[in-house]
Amino acid sequence: MALLKEKVTEIHHWTDKTFSFKTTRNMSFRFKNGEFAMIGLEINGKPLLRAYSVVSPNHEDYLEFLSIKVPNGPLTSKLQHVKIDDEIIINSKPTGTLVCDYLLPGRNLFLFSTGTGLAPFMSIVRDPETYEKFEKVILTHTVRTSKELAYRDLLTNLNNDEVYSEVTRNNFIYFSTVTREKWVNEGRITDWIQENTLWKKVGVENFKPEIDRVMICGSEEMTFDLKKIFEKLGSKEGSTKVQGGFVIEKAFAEK
């Protein structure tokens, strides 16, 4: 396993629970948008690594990650204190199932996320190929409180962004829901889907398993529930080996 060393160049604390950071990028580190890599810190001379989805699209010359802060987490109790110019280590072999190639060709692409499960979709929604493959790209992000909606400004303005408006051509749709406080859209995304209210709300035709595709990234409960919902609707799970109607990745491993 080759470990690359990168320097932290920017840090942003979203809340007391999440932060994001950018690092330098050795261009020998290549990945597909949506993939994750093992990253971490050298602690007492030993690498301490955890899986992290790459937030930055693969055409950028830097890397970006969105991280949880687990109070007693072996890695994040330390990682949350990184400063500019600190070194992080990255395993050079990224992997993962949230890649457009693992989905059958289709009409609309739905990206469902909760919490830090947003991370892999940040690279996918800025990838020109995503918009060559799909007509509309709909990203949903569900969190407890609105201040946890990381990258909300960037996502809200993506269609008007100086660089990315050319990529999205108004075909990107961002929809956030909040479960524990008042917000424009409240509740779990599973309810929005099961009550058949999501499609109209985001301005697309009702989900059709024959032509619409799905990626799911979030907690164990969320990924389990959405898998059941889309299977019931007639969609089949894809993998790195067989293309399908939907692909799933857990945003973290439960203890």
Query: At its nearest, how many Å lie between ligand FAD and the CB of residue 222?
Result: 11
Report the nearest approach of ligand FAD to the CB of residue 151 (Å).
12
Q: What is the dihedral of CA 195, 104, 248, 120, to 10 degrees?
A: -100
Q: Which of 34, 26, 74, 69 is nearest to 50 (CA)?
A: 74
As measured in angstroms, the least distance from the Cβ of 160 to ligand FAD is 26
Closest CB to ligand FAD among residues 115, 244: 115
> Is residue 218 a contact residue for ligand FAD (CB under 6 A)?
no
Nearer to ligand FAD, 77 or 157 (CB): 77
> Residues 72-111 vs ligand FAD: string with x where CB under 6 A?
-xxxxx----------------------------------
What is the Cα–Cα distance from 187 to 222, expressed in whole angstroms?
A: 13
Find the residue with minimal CB distance to ligand FAD: 73
Q: Which residue has the tokens 């969609």?
A: 235
Note whether 255 binds ligand FAD by CB under 6 A: yes
- The verdict on 56 binding ligand FAD (CB under 6 A) reads no
Q: Answer yes or no whether residue 142 interacts with ligand FAD by CB under 6 A.
A: no
Separation CA 43–CA 53 (nearest Å)? 21
Per-residue burial over 170-209, b if 16 or more Cβ lie within 10 Å, else e, is ebbbbbbbbeeeeeebeeebbebbeeeebbeebebeebeb
* Binding-site member from 20, 56, 67, 91 for ligand FAD (CB under 6 A): 67
Among 37, 63, 66, 178, binds ligand FAD (CB under 6 A): 66
Residue from 33, 116, 168, 177 touching ligand FAD (CB under 6 A): that is 116
Based on the shown chain and the rule CB under 6 A, indicate whether residue 71 belongs to the binding site for ligand FAD: no
Q: Which residues fall within 8 angstroms of residue 140, CB to CB, at 6 or more apart?
A: 110, 111, 112, 113, 175, 176, 177, 189, 192, 198
Pair 29, 62: CB distance under 8 Å: no
CB of 1 to ligand FAD, least distance (A): 16
Task: Report the chain's C-alpha Rg in angstroms.
Answer: 18
Which of the residues 12 through 41 are near ligand FAD (CB under 6 A)? 36
What's the CA dihedral at 88, 92, 96, 98 to 10 degrees?
Answer: 70
Q: Is 20 or 177 the residue whose CB approaches ligand FAD more closely? A: 20
- Owner of token pair 């070194």: 87
Q: Which phi and psi (to 5°) does residue 18 adopt? A: -140, 150
Q: Tell me if 227 contacts ligand FAD by CB under 6 A.
A: no
Q: How far is the CB of 152 from ligand FAD (least distance, A)?
A: 17
Contacts with ligand FAD by CB under 6 A lie at 36, 50-53, 66-68, 70, 73-77, 115-116, 119, 249-255
